[in-house]
Structure 1
Amino acid sequence: MKLELKDTPGQLLGALKPISDIGGNIITIIHQRDQTTAENTLTVDIVLELPEKKLDALIDALRERGCGVIRVGKERLLQKQSLIMIGHLMHTDLTDTVDRIDQTGFAEVSELHMVMPAIDEPSTAKITIRAISPEDMLHAVRILREVAAQKDILILEPLGGAE
């Protein structure tokens, strides 16, 4: 959510209170006072978790307090995990590996960075998966493990990662 606030003391607190009152969970606030406009306003980016059914009430509450709501974005894939894959990734159809996760509807591969030392050598890739919930992330990682077992690909998971 991007808000426009008057550059006066207490405005940020006034914008955060309705979020708290309505049951929102604030994840991040980006508040750069050095970027004011000619109207003596500044923008604040707020990343928050909020049930979608409460969004209209929040926007109304913010506007009642004089906060301009410039933009509201929705991101449904809030969980993120990166893993390392080692093996003959290209020879085992990397597109198929990615598609098996992307086709779930609850998870997708958001990044893939690969190193290929030689055509007949194993490749290494960092794969980043995003999912809707922690449970969906566990399921997506299970799918990746199953695909890796079928294709003889080694998966390295971070300590304390999924399962």
Structure 2
Amino acid sequence: MLIRDAVTDDWPRIWPFWHRIVAAAETYAWDPDTDEQAARALWMSPAKRVYVAEDPAGTVVGSAYLTANYGGPAAHVANAGFMVDPARTGRGIGRALAEHVLAEAVRHGYRAMVFNAVVETNPAVRLWTSLGFTVLATIPEAFDHPRHGPVGLHVMHKPLV
């Protein structure tokens, strides 16, 4: 699997799984009705470093971004977002993207990473904890999950230095 910087022409290959994941309303606290133009502006923002994972055939199977979570004197704390094509889960793509983004965060001088709103029922919580993230807090019943009802949102953190 190749993980590389995304280019503008990658968006049409990211959008189908981005839309499927957000529309499912199970793992992201983004509006499930986000249209393609707004989604592109959100994910491909010039303020973010965006990456794609390609399988050996050149198919984009996942994407991630890296950005500062805060500004000014706290700009050394990173934030990231990850999406793997739901048809390709369980193949190590999420872990490979996470490891790549964590290495990139260190390379770009970030000293920590924080996730602001990880849905507590998201299977990725196991991935994040296996990579050294801890749950700092859980906002109870902050997310209306379509199958589980109100569930918590974790704030997760990992020092990078």
Pairwise TM-score range, normalised by the shorter structure? 0.3 to 0.5
Bigger RCO (CA 8 Å, 6+ sep): 1
TM-score by length of 2: 0.32
